[in-house]
Amino acid sequence: MAGAAMNKPYRNRFALIAIAAALALGGPIGCSGGSETPPLAGARIGGPFTLTDQDGKRVSDTAFAGKYRLVYFGYTFCPDICPTDLQKMGQGMRALEKEDAAAAAKIQPIFISIDPARDTPAVLKAYVPAFHPRLIGLTGTQAEIDAVAKEFAVFHAKVPTKDGSDNYLMNHSTQMVLFDPTGAPLALIPQDKSPEEMAAEMKRWVK
């Protein structure tokens, strides 16, 4: 697969800037149903959307009502960062399934492409099962992806090739965010931790 995500220092910087901005614009601080306040409570991250899944079906955010959502933006042609992060997502989900199957069942992992020109439903259908059997891949028109990326505070930009070929890169932020059953943001799930640590962070907020 050709292409790449942005280098780690830059992707982390964009992720932190986007999250900080969302927190600064956020409303009243809430909680996840327990006594502890989630770190992203009140941040303006997320929103309504209608995209196309790997089976070619139109899917709206309302389809996930009542489910926690573990959301990651990336693209299938990325040779390193995205597949590594998605592998971590799958490993974290499996670790949680092993420790607390009921909690894991409440979480819907979601991969949203920021490269809809190449990431067709057929491409996503061949890609997402490699990471977790319940991972849903979403794509759409460029306008739809631009809109949902903005709502979710995700930076993304195409880096054209000199020859204009389709082997271009995509720069983008790569935060993995856990949302509650209403779609409100709860916490960043750290991709640089072990699967067990990722599972523990998810379980911390899943009620």
Residue 34 in any domain: the answer is: no
Residue 31 in any domain: the answer is: no
Domain count, the chain: 1
- Based on its alpha-carbon atoms, the radius of gyration of the chain, rounded to whole angstroms, reads 16
Residue 19 pLDDT: 52
- Structural domain for 57, as ranges: 8-23+39-205
Residue ranges for the known binding site are 78, 82, 172
Residue 1 in any domain: the answer is: no
Residue 193 in any domain: the answer is: yes
Residue 32 in any domain: the answer is: no
pTM: 0.85
Residue 200 in any domain: the answer is: yes
φ, ψ (nearest 5 deg) of residue 199: -60, -40
Q: How confident is the chain (207 residues) per 10-residue block, as mean pLDDT?
A: 43 46 42 72 96 98 97 95 97 98 98 97 98 98 97 94 86 95 97 97 96
Residue ranges for the known binding site for Cu cation are 78, 82, 172
Residue 33 in any domain: the answer is: no
Which residue spans within the chain are E strands per DSSP? 50-53, 58-60, 68-74, 107-113, 136-139, 156-159, 169-172, 176-179, 185-188
**Contact in structure between 50 and 63 (CB atoms under 8 Å):** no
In whole angstroms, give the CA distance from residue 124 to residue 129: 9
**Contact in structure between 113 and 145 (CB atoms under 8 Å):** yes
Residue 79 pLDDT: 85
Residue 51 sits in a domain of what CATH number?
3.40.30.10
Residue 3 in any domain: the answer is: no
In whole angstroms, give the CA distance from residue 142 to residue 48: 16
Other C-beta atoms within 10 Å of 69: how many?
20
Residue (of 56, 49, 99, 55) closest to 71 by Cα position: 49
